[in-house]
Each structure stands twice: as C-alpha cells, then as structure tokens.
Amino acid sequence: MVNKLSKELTEKQKKVLEAIENFFLAYGYSPTVRQLGKLLDMTNPSAVFKHIVSLEKKGYLKREKGGVSLTSVSTSAEAQVTVPLVGLVPAGHPRETFEISGEGLDVPAWMVGRKRGNIFCIQVEGKSMVDAYIDDGDRVLLERTSTTNSGEMVVALLSDGSVTLKRLRLEKGKAFLVPENPDFEEIEVEELKVLGRVIGVLRKY
C-alpha cells in the first residue's frame, strides 16, 4: 500500500501510515496514539501526534476518541478476500465429517489479516459451543495450525478419524476438548491433532 501513497508524504509519514494499516488488518480496528508509538518505537507521544496531525491534514486519516481511523484513501481495510469453505464440522458429538466443498467464501480482509493463505472457513453443526457465541449454522474462520494454546477454540481430529469443534484445555500433560454448553461433556484425548484454531465467526441474522 505504501507504493500507492502520495509523493508529498515523507518517508516517516509513509511508515506511520503503513503501521496503522497493518494494525487494522491484524486486529480490525485502528491503534491509539500510544499503541502507534510502540509500533514505531517512538517514546514521545507528541512526536507521534505530530505525524498523525500531518496525515490528517493530507486526508489520509482522521482522529476520533483518542485513536485514529483510516479514510477512503486506504481501501485495503474494506477489501474482501476469498477463503476456502470446508463442509460441516460438528460442534456437538464428534463425527467423521470434514469434507472440502471446493467453494470459496468472501470475508472482510481485516478478519484474515496477513495470513490469508493459511485461513479456511467451516460451517458449524450443533450447539455444544453456544455459550462461546458459536451456534448451529454459523460459519467460523480458522487458521491452519498443528499447535495451539490451552484455552483456544480449535477444530481437532481425533484418533478414530472424527472431528469436532471445542475449546482446548491442557492440564498436567493431558488434553481435553471442552464444550461451551452444560448439556455436553468434555472429551479427554490421548492423541490430539489440531487442524485449526478459531479466529472469527460469521453469522447472518
């Protein structure tokens, strides 16, 4: 995106704008002045603020509620990217279902960030994760990974070949797949293979 910037921007201003755009793509919102200072390794908030004011005057961003937001000059934040759509994955009792549909789904670029080649989408079947705001029929974005941290929501492949969406709990060398619904029981697994970790949920009302 820097190559699209106006020649009137200084090199430092280009770096500031790029840092704001990268932060937005990673988190879905723009950084505060303090967060931006940390990203740019600038300890003086006044210096950061000076660059923000300059970019605002040139129409690249605007200040609001202690933070900054991008203007229409930066279109990447509103872009759509296509990610692979995988078949139904049970959020209930594990089932031998993890079919590749061959379809794609358009999602906001900011939800995918810089890892777009490593993201896929599943459609959930079941209600074992409703207390985590993942309901039957929701589409969930996942990052492909073979490792994850305790507490993250994952799609796991069990030793019998079945798959399920649950929250992972690692405790005393053991792995548990924990539902977010008291009507379902947690699953202790001896051989756990993580196919992906949840990074977002898409829902139509």
- Average pLDDT over the chain, rounded to an integer: 80
Q: Determine the Cα–Cα distance for residues 128 and 192; give it in Å rounded to an integer.
A: 19
71 shares its domain with 92: no
Q: Which residues are catalytic?
A: 128, 166
CATH of the domain at 103: 2.10.109.10
CATH of the domain at 33: 1.10.10.10
Task: Write down the pLDDT at residue 66.
Answer: 59
pTM of the predicted model, to two decimals? 0.59
Task: Write down the pLDDT at residue 137.
Answer: 87
- Domain coverage including residue 41: 2-76
38 shares its domain with 49: yes
94 shares its domain with 191: yes
88 shares its domain with 50: no
66 shares its domain with 92: no
Crossing angle of helices 11-27 and 45-57, rounded to 10° = 90
127 shares its domain with 33: no
Comparing 176 with 82, the larger pLDDT belongs to 176
pLDDT at 2 over 50: no
36 shares its domain with 62: yes
| Cβ–Cβ < 8 Å for 100, 129 | no
67 shares its domain with 116: no
29 shares its domain with 10: yes
Q: Determine the Cα–Cα distance for residues 179 and 13; give it in Å rounded to an integer.
A: 47
94 shares its domain with 170: yes
116 shares its domain with 186: yes
Comparing 97 with 84, the larger pLDDT belongs to 84
Q: Determine the Cα–Cα distance for residues 204 and 83; give it in Å rounded to an integer.
A: 18
Q: How many structural domains comprise the chain?
A: 2
